[in-house]
Structure 1
Amino acid sequence: MELVSIDDIRTAATSITDLVVHTPLLPCPWAAGHGSLSLKPENLQTTGSFKIRGAYNAIRRCPPSLRDRGVITYSSGNHAQALAYAARALGVPCTVVMPEDARQVKVTATRSLGAEIVLVPPAERKDVATRLAETEGLALIPPFDHPDVIGGQGTVGLEIVEDLPEVDVVLVPVGGGALASGVATAVKSLRPSASVIGVEPELAADAAESLRSGRLCTWPMTRTGRTVADGLRTNLSDLTFAHLRTHLDDLVTVSEEEITDAVAHLARSAHLIVEPSGAVTVAAYLFNKDRLPAGRTVAVLSGGNVDFGFFTNVLVAPSESQGAD
C-alpha cells in the first residue's frame, strides 16, 4: 500500500493556500505547571475544523472532467460542511449523504453552503454515496479514507514544524485517522526526533486496540457511540491504519470526564470554544502527562463545532482543572 509522502503534503499546502487559514501556535501560560504547551487551534479554521484542508485538496486534485460534474460525500459532521464550502468556492456541485437522524443544525448548515442533501438510514450512508457517485458520474470524496484527504490534513503538521522547528511532542486526535496520518507523516519527515502521539477516547479506542494487536480492529457504533467526542467515533481504514503503524509513536486514551474538563478548561483559560473531539489532546496533556514524552509540546485542537447546549452545561459544571487557572 502506497503511503502519502511529505512531497504530497507540500503539494497540498500549495494547492489549498487560497482558501485555508494557516492557524497560529498559541502559547499556554496557564499550563506552566505542566510543562511547555502550545495550541494549534483548528477550531478557528474555515468552517470551524481542520476538515477543510483535506476536502479542498481532494477537490483540487480531481481531474476537471470529473470534478465539474460534481462531488459527493457521506458525512453528518465537519467533513460535510467542509466539502460543501470548498465545492462552492470552486463553483462545483456538491451532494452530501447524511443520516436521517442527523441533527437539524448540521443539515441546515451544510445546505446553507449550497450542498444538496440526501437523507438515508444511518447504516446506508456510504453505500448510497458510492452508488450515486457511480450512477451520476460524481467524484466521491470520503471523510478520511483517501490519500488526497490525508495529504491535505497533513498540512497541519507542516505548519507546526514551520512555526516551531524545535517541537518535541505533537498530540493529535484520532478518529478515522486522516488527521493523525497526515500530521504524523509531516512531523516525522521534517523533525524525526519529535514524538507524535495520538489521542482517542477510552470509549472509542479502536485505534489503540488496532495498534496493540497489529491488525485493524473495528468497533460497532453501539460501542463507540457512547463517547461525547462524536467526531472520534469512526474506525480507522486500512489506509489510515497503515500510516499510523508506520509513523505514530504512541497512542493514549482519555476518559469522558477528562474530555469534558478539558473543554471547560480551554474555554476558561484559553478563551477558545473547542468541541470534545478537539479537546482530547489537552485532556491527555492535563491528566496523562506521565504517559507523554517531555519537551515542547503542541496540542492540535481539531475543531470547534460544539453543541451549545452541551457547552453551556460543561461550563456550569465544576471543573477539576480550575485550580490551574
Structure 2
Amino acid sequence: MLKQMLVGGVLALAPMLASAQATLTAETTTPGSTPHYIDSTLAAVLDSAGVATMQITEGATLTNSVLAVAEGRLDMTPAPLILPFLLSRGIGPYAGVGPEKGAELASDIRAIFFNAGSAQVLGYFNSNPVEDIRDMAGKRVWNGPPRGAALTSGRAMIQLLSGLKDGEGYEGIQTPWPDTVSTITGGGADVWTIPEGLPSGRQIAIAAAGGITLHDVPSDLLASELGQQIVAAPGHAPYSVPVEDFRAAYAGNDITVVTDDDTFDSFATAFGQIVPAGLDEELVYQITKAYLEGEERFITGSPRGPFARMSFGDIDGVSQGACGAVQIKMHPGAIRAFEDAGHTVADCLRP
C-alpha cells in the first residue's frame, strides 16, 4: 500500500503562515532513492520558506505520475526524461494514449529543474559471482519494474554488456519497486541492474543479506558505437565519478566496486522535476527560487546530496539530457527564477 506523507503540516501551530501557502500534490519514488530524497528535501525547503505544503505519495510508478501531471491531475513529480519523450509519441507505456493525444498531453508538461544522479549499475552476490559480466547467457537478471524508464535502461545495460536481449539469451525479472530488494535477496535473480543514486540505500539493504559486487560499464564498451548511442539516448546523460569517491560512499558495507580505470563510468537517468504548464507562474517562481536558495540543504542533507547532480547553475539543456531527442520545456516561472539568480537558460528550453 502506498504511504502518504504530509510535509509541512504544522497548520494548527501557524494558521496565518499556512493560509499563505499553496498546497501541492506530488508523487515520488520509494524511500532511499535519489528522487525521493530530492522531493522530501524540496518539501521541507518549501515549507521553511512559507511557499507551499507538499502532499507526497511515495512508491509511485512514475509512468503514471507523468501522465497525471500532463493531464493536470497532479501538481508535481520527478520524471525520467524518457517518459515525456515516449508520451509525446504515444509509444511504449503510452501506446494506449496514441500519438496525437500523447503529443497534446506532452506539450502541457514543464520542467522546473533537473538532475541526473541515478547511474546504471550491475550487481551480484559474491556467493554467486558472475565470472564475466560480458556473458549473461542463461542468467536471471532483475532489470527493472514491469514497465517504464528504468526497465528500458536496464535492458540497454545488459545488451551493451553482453549483446543479449531480454528473453533472448537471459531471463529478465521484473517486479514493482517496493519488491526489488526482497526479490533479489530471496534468490529471485542471479544478477541485477538498477539506476541508483550514490550511495544507494537499496544496494546497502541488499548487501546486508551478503556481500555484493557492483560494476560500472567497461571503458571499451562505453566508448563503442552502441555505448555512445545509449549514453545519448532519450532520457540518458553521461555519468562519471572518481572510483575512490564511489567506494567511500559505501564504506562500512560489504560492497566491492569494480572498474577498469580510476572512474566509475556509466550512463545516468536524466530527470526533470515537472509540473503542469498551467501551474501559476508566480507560484512556480517562488518554488524554484526557494529550491535555488536551498542548495546547501540539498547538498549537505544526505550522503547522496553531493552526487545528485542537481541543476543549481546555468542550464544548457544538453547536460541535463534535454534539447536533443527530448524536447521538454521549462516553466516560465522557473526560467525567471534561474535568471533572477544570475543563471542562463538555453533558448531550446523556453516555451
With normalisation by structure 2, the TM-score equals 0.28
More helix by percentage = 1
Between structure 1 and structure 2, the one with the greater Rg is 2
